[in-house]
Structure 1
Amino acid sequence: MPIIRIGPTYSFLQKYNVNDDKNPIFINSTHFTGYITFRLKNHHYKDENVTKTCTYFEDHSRLFSIQFQGRFKPTNPNRSNNLWSFDDIFFCAETEESTNPPIGSQLAVKFAQFIDPGFMADKMFSSKRPWCGSYLICGMNIVKVMKVNNDVDNIDNVDKNNPKNQNIQNIQNIQNIQNVQNVQNIQNIQNVQNIQNIQNNNIDTPLLPVGPWVNYGKNYIKEDTSLIHHEEIVFDSSKRRYYFLDPFIRNSHFFDPSLVYAFDFFNNFIDFSTMNANMIIKFSIKKVLVNQPLRFVCRNYDGDAIFFVIEIDYSDIC
């Protein structure tokens, strides 16, 4: 089976129990605070304790799902407002070293661009950390933007005794906030203070709350980007992708640190369980990776700002 590791950086990754979507992993990185879960249909492994699937996949032709929700910190050093624009943040697949793209890989790229017109693969042949991907706002199948729910102690939705959630620094920060919850409106005050602390370079401060985490099992995230637009525009996923394909529009929108963003990324043509893909051409993921892990990384274009990392490690079966 592939081993899934999730973390705030390349060097700090924790093993995650695939398909345990009720218990996402909590992430607090330099630029992002939130939850992440990873689902895999027909999760093959000899160990009977492994959860082979989950109800999320019932009545859907999806083969995997990467779902996350959280808040983006105002830590962008390249903008005077310190905010991250929709043009700044990417979601990409990458490896550490060069890969072996299949014959006809350009057909696979065109296939991906048919679904997501923002998809790009110009760095796919790089010798160091090759990647392909899209702008986060364009690449996601589902995007939902929500107001912060200050009435919810969202950390109760995560098992703090679960080893995968034992990021000591993050948990301590959470406990510090919980210890003062008897103060009236403390969550509203903390919300403002957290943003101010981050803007004052206290980047380890988590932006809380980021919950509740309620979209697990068959309770799917539904597309809702109404809070993004000043005018009343109702977008489905396809319209959103094309709308934000315009770089001027992407640069005029920012990830608001006072809002919670939820995303679901999935498809039915890449099977991370069997390591096979069918994107007009059929190819083996194993041969492409050349015995190295595959990562999904939320990052900026240059790769010097990492929001979070999801690693799919096939080393035990390659």
Structure 2
Amino acid sequence: MTLKLRIRVGPSYDPSTLTTILPNNDDNPFLLTSEHFIGHICIRIRDYNGVVLPGQQVRRTSPWFDGNNEQYSIQVHGRFKGDKWTGDDIVFGNDFDQPIRLPPGSWIGLKILQFIDPGLEADVYSPKPWAYSPFLVTMNAIRLTIDNSPSFPPWPSPNGEHIAESISLLDQLPSFPSARRRYFSNKENRERLKITEDQVWDLDFFNAYIDFDKFAVKLPGFEIGVMKYWDGQPLRYVCKSRDASAIFFVVVFELIEEDETSE
């Protein structure tokens, strides 16, 4: 059995709302419109060799990967709807529908991730495991602009350009990620930030830990092949409200049989 990686994006957990997208499609990101969010989403995967739909051609990589060791990127450019959220209300992370098998020493990996992301909370031994962090803390890069125009601002990365960190207009923060993460690790600072519809958020989440080409997890000092622990569940990233009353967007990485390419 040959397995292929498929990427789907949508506004909810419901599989019928998810759309298969082409990774590394820098110049044509997916447009997601829902009750709670509107924006573009581009998924990038180094050495991608997964599912493409009829009429599409595989894009193995993106200029975004030039000069770095990252393995994948989830870049978002959009607005949160409703004028009712604070910076503490919106979280981003993973969840699963069933228990997951974990390799020995997984707790070490979790401690490493929590050191990198001080906002990360997780219960990986739950019947429905999860790991979430405030989006203001977990994102690798954030740029915030104010735009009151009725038209949506253009996608900022048609050639794989990186987001330049810029969030200083909120609280006179220095424009580098470590200062932003430190500042928003404080719950009161997150609660003071009001999320409004005139804000346009550029977000990029990426890391070098998951190698989708080798189906391996790479952490400092060791590499783990995941296939012997894999139980068929997808890796799902979700941006949602902390109380789960609103889902903003969902990104699903899943392995399917090679001929199973239809929606």
With normalisation by structure 2, the TM-score equals: 0.88
Specify which of 5, 9, 22 is matched with residue 2 of structure 1: 5
Q: Secondary structure at the match of 2:40?
A: strand
Higher helix residue share: 1
Pick closer, same or farther for the CA change 1:302–1:127 going to 2, 3 Å. farther
Rounded to whole Å, the distance in 2 between the matches of 1:55 and 1:303 is: 35
Identity of aligned residues (%): 33
C-alpha deviation, 1:45, in angstroms: 4.5
Partner of 1:216 in structure 2?
158
Specify which of 31, 34, 43 is matched with residue 29 of structure 1: 34
Q: How does 1:104-183 map to 2 (within 5 A)?
A: 104-121=105-122, 123-128=123-128, 130-148=129-147, 150=149
Q: Is the 8 A contact 1:39 1:66 kept in 2?
A: yes
Specify which of 36, 39, 46 is matched with residue 44 of structure 2: 39
Rounded to whole Å, the distance in 2 between the matches of 1:27 and 1:45 is: 22
Structure 2 unaligned regions, length at least 5: 259-263
1:140-173 CA-partner distances (Å, limit 9, x unpaired): 00000012173xxxxxxxxxxxxxxxxxxxxxxx
Rounded to whole Å, the distance in 1 between the matches of 2:192 and 2:239 is: 20
Pick closer, same or farther for the CA change 1:87–1:295 going to 2, 3 Å. same
Structure 1 unaligned regions, length at least 5: 75-81, 151-186, 188-208
Partner of 2:168 in structure 1?
226
Cα RMSD between the aligned structures? 2.0
Q: Is the 8 A contact 2:6 2:50 kept in 1?
A: no
Q: Is the 8 A contact 1:292 1:315 kept in 2?
A: no
C-alpha deviation, 1:289, in angstroms: 4.1
With normalisation by structure 1, the TM-score equals: 0.73
Partner of 1:53 in structure 2?
61
The range that moved more, 101-110 or 285-294, is 285-294
C-alpha deviation, 1:103, in angstroms: 1.4
Rounded to whole Å, the distance in 2 between the matches of 1:46 and 1:83 is: 38
C-alpha deviation, 1:283, in angstroms: 2.4
Pick closer, same or farther for the CA change 1:288–1:228 going to 2, 3 Å. farther
Partner of 2:209 in structure 1?
269
Q: Larger radius of gyration, structure 1 or 2?
A: 1
Q: Is the 8 A contact 1:40 1:272 kept in 2?
A: yes
Partner of 1:308 in structure 2?
249
The range that moved more, 267-276 or 15-24, is 267-276
C-alpha deviation, 1:272, in angstroms: 2.1
Higher strand residue share: 2
Q: Is the 8 A contact 1:144 1:224 kept in 2?
A: yes
Partner of 2:234 in structure 1?
293
Pick closer, same or farther for the CA change 1:108–1:17 going to 2, 3 Å. same
